Amino acid sequence: MALRRKKPAGEPQSVDPEVIARALAKAIREGDIVNFRLLFLPFSPARADSPEDFQTDKYAYLLPDDDMEGDFSFQDTLHQIRKPDAWAQIQRELEANRPAQMPSALLLQLADNAVRAGKYTSAAQAYELLRIRGRMQETFFAQADEALDGQDVNSAVRGYIIATGLDYNFAAFPEPLPVVPDFQTRALMLHGEYPERPEDCLPLQEHETFLRTALSYLLVSPEAGARLDARPTPLKIEFLKALVLQRDPDWHAFAGRYREACGMMRDFEKRIDRATREGARGPGDLAEEIEELLGADPIAIPQRLLGRPAEGGEWWQYLRELAYRHPAGILFVSRQLVGEIEILVPRYRADSPVPGQLGLVPDAAE
């Protein structure tokens, strides 16, 4: 597409109404609140008094491609935009010298499409603009709880993910924003203190405590996790399993690496135990045991967990990478000092059914 020179600011330009309609339909079809709002801003190429132009490469991304043009839902949205009442409102807002009041019917359609596409922050912003975000959030929670009553766990988990995805942070600066599932930061908070005792390790928490922690972490909301407290334990375990798999489509690959890391740890612990029982002669003997198992680098265990080396090689860097790639993975590791090096190692309660359900226990998976 050839580049066109911008028109001088303030010089009216003729904007093809069909181009505006197609750009709006694309934003609504994709559930993209950012592009939808951009089209109503003062510098939007949809405004006649703006120097910006749809025909420049800069704004090509706002227009639908041939595949989308042939999509039934896109054409249906385009039909809604072309209706006289809807189009008259769009034109008024594009001509007004004030912040635009976006068409509510189109905004609601965008929000619903964003939910279907899993774009929950976009949906949250659209529902908030309509002043119905809280009501929609409670509706999704209620539908999820009803699904859980009927033992439809996968639908219940999806409902909880949608509902928590609509959360808003009203303390954000400079304006309230949707809550983002920042698993990396949350993982560092959960593992912030070095465990002095086995029971201090996150994976070794008492069973119900662990379930509450895991659900609150993966739902990014202690309040949402608390809604499940009264549910039977077997149902909460089933819910957690479904939640892990919906959050992480690549979980089975991680589970395989986790079992391999467990094997490394098992051999490692056997060697240390044997060295202790045989009366190790000094600290150097333990270092030799470590080197014999892992070479000179005990970082091999977290590398196996992550599937590759982490830049920097510190335990917290492995934790952040693991939380990003496999959010639930950080629930089954702990910090461990090996000589002067601190690493992440696999840990789980042998009497808990959760690791086996998730394919993390070597014997259970074989």
pLDDT of residue 364: 52
Rounded to whole angstroms, the Cα distance separating 346 from 359 reads 13
Tokens for 207?
Answer: 């069973």
pLDDT of residue 120: 96
Domain assignment of residue 159, yes or no: no
Rounded to whole angstroms, the Cα distance separating 36 from 24 reads 6
H or E stretch at 311: none
Tokens for 71?
Answer: 């999509």
Domain assignment of residue 65, yes or no: yes
Domain assignment of residue 99, yes or no: yes
Domain assignment of residue 147, yes or no: no
CA 2, chain centre distance (Å)? 38
H or E stretch at 336: strand 333-338
CA 361, chain centre distance (Å)? 26
| DSSP code per residue over 248-270 | -TTHHHHHHHHHHHHHHHHHHHH
H or E stretch at 26: helix 17-30
pLDDT of residue 174: 83
Please state whether the predicted TM-score (pTM) of the whole model is above 0.75: yes
Domain assignment of residue 38, yes or no: yes
Beta bridge partners of 342: 337
Q: Is residue 202 a contact partner of residue 331, using CB atoms and an 8 Å limit? A: yes
Mean pLDDT by 10 residues, the chain (366 residues): 47 84 97 97 92 92 95 95 96 92 95 96 96 97 97 98 95 86 95 89 95 97 95 97 97 97 82 60 56 64 94 94 98 89 93 96 66
Domain assignment of residue 73, yes or no: yes
SS3 label, residue 71: coil
pLDDT of residue 176: 87
Rounded to whole angstroms, the Cα distance separating 130 from 118 reads 19
Domain assignment of residue 293, yes or no: no
pLDDT of residue 286: 56
Map tokens 């619903």 to a residue: 112
Rounded to whole angstroms, the Cα distance separating 223 from 229 reads 10
Q: How many domains does the chain have?
A: 1
Domain assignment of residue 95, yes or no: yes
- Bridge pairing between strands 341-346 and 168-169: unpaired
Q: Which domain holds residue 109?
A: 17-130
